Amino acid sequence: MKKSINLLKVLVALVPSLILMFFLLNYFPHTGLGRIIALPFILVINTVLITLGITFIHRLSQSLIIATWTLTLLFTLVVTILIYPQEYGPSVIHQLWNKMPIGR
């Protein structure tokens, strides 16, 4: 029972990354053959990060558990954006940064 609960936690924690990958595939489709390697690599890296978070989280207090989950999920989203390939033009992170209306 404990293993199935941990597996469910990993799958639920992967949902934001999967949603982000769906949007990246729709808004940045020009990935070339890099998509074949990058998407499974992103899933493996995010699964490892989430699994490490779950293994260390049971030793913490309640407030640290919430902070650790939040940081883990944000870190997986950042990893997803940084690793996502772009065949030509600037990288995805540069294109997203240029579209933000911060200080312009």
Asked whether residue 67 is domain-assigned, the answer is yes
Whether 4 shows a pLDDT value over 70: the answer reads no
Neighbour tally for 74: CB within 10 Å: 11
- C-alpha triplet 71, 73, 36: angle, nearest 5°: 135
For residue 44, with 0-12 CB atoms within 10 Å meaning exposed, 13-18 middle and 19 or more buried, which class applies?
Answer: exposed
Per-residue model confidence (pLDDT) at position 35: 85
pLDDT in tens, 43-99: 999 999 999 888 888 778 888 888 889 999 999 999 999 888 887 777 788 888 877
Asked whether residue 90 is domain-assigned, the answer is yes
Q: pTM score, two decimals?
A: 0.82
The tally of domains found in the chain comes to: 1
Asked whether residue 104 is domain-assigned, the answer is no
pLDDT in tens, 19-49: 999 998 888 888 888 888 999 999 999 999 9
Contact 28, 92 (CB under 8 A): yes
> Could you tell me the residue range of the domain that residue 30 belongs to?
2-99
